[in-house]
Amino acid sequence: MHEKKQDISLTVNGAAVTVSPGTTVAAAVAMAGAATRTSVSGEPRGPLCGMGICFECRVTIDGIPHQRSCQILCAPGLAVTTGSGAVAPMEAARTP
Amino acid sequence: MTESFDILVVGAGPAGIAAAVRAAEAGRSVALLDDNPAAGGQIWRSGAHAPAHARAWLARLESRDVLRKQGWRVIDCPEAGVVRAERNPGQPLPGTGKGPIEQIADFRYQRLILATGARERFLPFPGWTLPNVMGAGGLDAMVRGGLPIGGKRVVVAGTGPLLLAVAAHLAQRGAKILAVCEQASMGRLMSFGTRMLSEPGKLWQGLGYSLAIGPMRFKTGCWPVMAHGQDRLRAVTLRQGAKRWVIECDYLACGFHLVPNTELAALLGCRMQDGFVATDGQMRTSVPNVFCAGEPTGIGGVDVSLLEGEIAGLAAAGRVDHARELADKRHARRGFVRALRQACALDPQLRSLAADDTLVCRCEDVGYGRLRECSSWREAKLHTRCGMGSCQGRICGAAAEFLFGWGAESIRPPIFPARVASLAMLPQQPATVSGSREAAGEVSHTIKETA
pTM metric for this prediction: 0.89
The CATH number of the domain covering residues in B122-256: 3.50.50.60
pLDDT in tens, B304-343: 999 999 999 999 999 999 999 999 889 888 888 888 888 8
Confirm whether B2-118+259-339+420-440 and B122-256 share one CATH topology: yes
DSSP state string for B138-184: HHHHHHHTT---TT-EEEEEEESTHHHHHHHHHHHTT-EEEEEEESS
**Residue B323 burial (C-beta neighbours within 10 Å; 0-12, 13-18, 19+):** buried
Chain B closest CA to A96's CA: distance in Å? Answer: 7
Q: A10 — contact with chain B (CB < 8 Å)? A: no
User: Terminal CA-to-CA distance of chain A, rounded, Å?
Assistant: 42
d(C-alpha B64, C-alpha A2), whole Å: 19
Residues of chain B with Cβ-Cβ distance to A1 below 8 Å are: 94-95
Locate the chain B residue with the closest alpha carbon to A61: B90
Minimum-distance CB partner of A55 among B139, B147, B390: B390
Chain A closest CA to B198's CA: distance in Å? Answer: 32
**pLDDT score at B336:** 81
Question: Do strands B359-361 and B366-367 pair parallel, antiparallel, or not at all (unpaired)?
Answer: antiparallel
Locate the chain B residue with the closest alpha carbon to A96: B388
Outline where DSSP puts E strands in chain A.
Answer: 8-12, 15-19, 37-38, 44-45, 58-61, 64-68, 79-81
Return the domain boundaries, chain B. 2-118+259-339+420-440, 122-256, 354-404
Cα A22 to chain centroid distance, Å, stands at 14
Q: A68 — contact with chain B (CB < 8 Å)? A: yes
Taking a C-beta distance cutoff of 8 angstroms, is the pair A92, A42 a contact?
A: no
Cβ–Cβ gap A92/B416 under 8 Å: no
d(C-alpha B239, C-alpha B182), whole Å: 11
Return the domain boundaries, chain A. 11-81
Chain A closest CA to B388's CA: distance in Å? Answer: 6
Minimum-distance CB partner of B147 among A27, A41, A48: A27
Chain B closest CA to A68's CA: distance in Å? Answer: 8
Residues of chain B with Cβ-Cβ distance to A30 below 8 Å are: 142, 147
Question: Which run of H or E residues covers position B221?
Answer: none
**pLDDT score at B90:** 67
Minimum-distance CB partner of A52 among B35, B94, B389: B35
Angle between helices B162-172 and B136-144 (to 10 degrees): 30
pLDDT in tens, A58-84: 999 998 899 999 999 999 999 999 986
User: Terminal CA-to-CA distance of chain B, rounded, Å?
Assistant: 13
Chain A closest CA to B24's CA: distance in Å? Answer: 23
Q: Is A45 helix (H, G, I), strand (E, B) or coil?
A: strand
Answer whether residue A39 shows pLDDT above 50: yes
**pLDDT score at B428:** 40
Answer whether residue A95 shows pLDDT above 80: no
**pLDDT score at B420:** 75
Cβ–Cβ gap A48/B138 under 8 Å: yes
**pLDDT score at B186:** 86
Give yes or no for a cis peptide into B100 (omega within 30° of 0): yes
Q: Where are the alpha helices (DSSP H) in B391-444?
A: 396-404, 420-423, 430-440
**pLDDT score at B303:** 92
| Complex prediction ipTM | 0.89
Cα distances from B16 to residues B33, B40, B85, in angstroms, run 9, 9, 17
d(C-alpha B116, C-alpha B53), whole Å: 20
d(C-alpha B348, C-alpha B295), whole Å: 24
DSSP conformation class of B196: G
Cβ–Cβ gap A94/B416 under 8 Å: no
Residue B156 CB neighbours (<10 A)? 31
Residues of chain A with Cβ-Cβ distance to B419 below 8 Å are: 90-92
Cβ–Cβ gap A44/B88 under 8 Å: no
**pLDDT score at B442:** 27
Positions in chain B whose pLDDT score sits under 70:
47-49, 90-102, 195-208, 210-216, 424-451
> Which of A5, A37, A48 is best to mutate for the B interface (most B CBs within 10 A)?
A48
Taking a C-beta distance cutoff of 8 angstroms, is the pair B308, B15 a contact?
A: yes
Taking a C-beta distance cutoff of 8 angstroms, is the pair B111, A75 a contact?
A: no
The CATH number of the domain covering residues in A11-81: 3.10.20
Query: Nearest 5°: CA angle at B446, between B441 and B451?
Result: 85
Taking a C-beta distance cutoff of 8 angstroms, is the pair B189, B182 a contact?
A: yes
- State the sign of the Cα–Cα–Cα–Cα dihedral B185, B187, B190, B195: negative
Q: Which residues contact B348 (CB under 8 A, 6 or more apart)?
A: none
Question: What's the CATH number of domain B2-118+259-339+420-440, 1.20.1530.20, 3.40.50.300, 3.50.50.60, 3.90.180.10?
Answer: 3.50.50.60
d(C-alpha A86, C-alpha B129), whole Å: 15
d(C-alpha A82, C-alpha B422), whole Å: 25
Q: Of chain A residues 77-96, which have a CB less than 8 A from chain B?
A: 77-78, 86, 88, 90-96
By residue count, chain B amounts to: 451
Residues of chain B with Cβ-Cβ distance to A57 below 8 Å are: none
**Residue B426 burial (C-beta neighbours within 10 Å; 0-12, 13-18, 19+):** exposed
Closest CA to B262 of B271, B249, B252: B271
Chain A closest CA to B137's CA: distance in Å? Answer: 7
d(C-alpha B397, C-alpha B403), whole Å: 10
Tell me the one-letter amino acid at B393.
G
Q: A51 — contact with chain B (CB < 8 Å)? A: yes
Tell me the one-letter amino acid at B6.
D
DSSP conformation class of B234: E
